[in-house]
Copies of this chain bind each other. A is one copy, B any other.
Amino acid sequence: MSNKILKVGVFTSGGDAPGMNAAIRAVARSCAYYKLECVGIMRGYEGMIEGDIAPLDARAVGNILQRGGTVLKSARSKEFRTPEGRKKAHDHLKKHNIDALVAIGGDGTFTGLHKFYEEYQVPSILIPGTIDNDLTGTDYTIGYDTATNTAVEAIDKIRDTAMSHNRLFFIEVMGRHSGYIAIHAGIAGGAASVVIPEETMSFEDLYKILGEGEDTSKKSNLVVVAEGSKIGDAHALAKKVAERSSYFDIKVTVLGHLQRGGSPTYFDRVLASRMGVAAIEGLLNGENGVMVGIKDNNMVYSSFESVIGKHHEIDAESMRIAKILSI
């Protein structure tokens, strides 16, 4: 960019994730540190289209670091998918003298920004904030650590009940396209099996694992199922098992949206803090049209093209570990 950046607009978009506030704070404070102006754009692209924009100085982001959700709120915007919507948004950015954008969100957010960037070339940086950890270009997304811990705490509670009653529980966790929460929550929760979108386990394979429990002293079992399971969601799997055998006393719990909320873990706060700083420092160093990521504990920048629409592959190692430990 030849033009100097003086004023940055930050926003959150798509599903909220714990740690988004820590990222917003880091962006605002880094701007203050580097003597840039910072404004917050409310409700993602909706607020950009409506001009719902307010100053965000270092003090305005005090005491939000530890909070779930996003103080800038989030929304999905149909209008931003139209050229007219994006035009309105750009007009507001110009009116507010916003030189650069920092977007915090997931793949949907990125797709929208990519289009906007191609049309208007506003210097833009993405920060990956989504509990699903389904983005390539970064080892971890903001919110994943917290959501997985939330899932594990729920599983621990269910285990108390499962063990008291010798029951089989199907526990559904978030992850429409990605088994990250499921596989790690499954290992950490001591699941008998984990069903994820990425894997090709058949229902027969699953049933066999549960059946093996019949012969051992293991009477209670937990199965963790990712939303995006290819062989049926938690309710469907429970039904199939019940149809096959009356041996099991089966229950189902779908954790749902509580996985999105809650105070972020130290990991997500530190990750969000680092990414927020890296976004502003990146902008100042001429980075543009990129996503900030963490790779092997270093901040890296990847081009929009290299991350958008790509899938973060699940590690085979985790699948192997889950299997060995459920013996």
A residues with CB within 8 A of B: 12, 16, 18, 20, 22, 25-26, 29-30, 32-33, 58-59, 62-63, 65-70, 73-75, 139, 145, 148-152, 154, 156-161, 163-166, 169, 184-185, 187-190, 216-218, 251-263, 265-267, 269-270, 273-274, 277, 296-297, 315, 317-318, 321, 324-325, 327
Contacts and interface: CB of A to CB of B under 8 A. Distances in A.
A164 B277 contact: no
A176 to B, nearest CB: 15
Contacts of A157: 68, 150, 257-262
Given A12-B164, A66-B190, A265-B265, 18 more contacts: A18-B160, A29-B325, A30-B325, A33-B327, A59-B216, A69-B160, A149-B265, A149-B266, A154-B258, A156-B261, A157-B257, A157-B258, A157-B259, A169-B257, A253-B254, A254-B254, A267-B267, A270-B321
Given A66-B159, A266-B188, A166 B258 contact: no
Nearest to A260: B161
20 contacts: A16-B160, A16-B164, A32-B327, A63-B163, A73-B166, A139-B297, A145-B266, A148-B266, A149-B267, A152-B269, A157-B261, A158-B257, A169-B257, A255-B258, A270-B321, A273-B321, A273-B325, A274-B321, A277-B321, A277-B325
Contacts of A59: 216-218
Contact of A257 (B16, B253, B266): B253
Nearest to A181: B266
Chain A binding surface, main DSSP class: helix
A62 B324 CA distance: 14
Contact of A252 (B161, B164, B256, B325): B256
Query: Looking at A70, A163, A169, A259, which has the most chain B CB atoms within 10 Å of its CB?
Result: A163
Given A165-B73, A251-B257, A254-B256, A266 B184 contact: yes
Contacts of A260: 157, 160-161
A256 B63 CA distance: 22
A26 B189 CA distance: 13
Contacts of A20: 164
Contact of A187 (B150, B270, B324): B270
Contact of A270 (B73, B184, B255, B297): B184
Contact of A269 (B12, B187, B265): B187
A312 to B, nearest CB: 13
A74 B219 CA distance: 13
Contacts of A151: 266
Given A157-B68, A159-B63, A266 B152 contact: yes
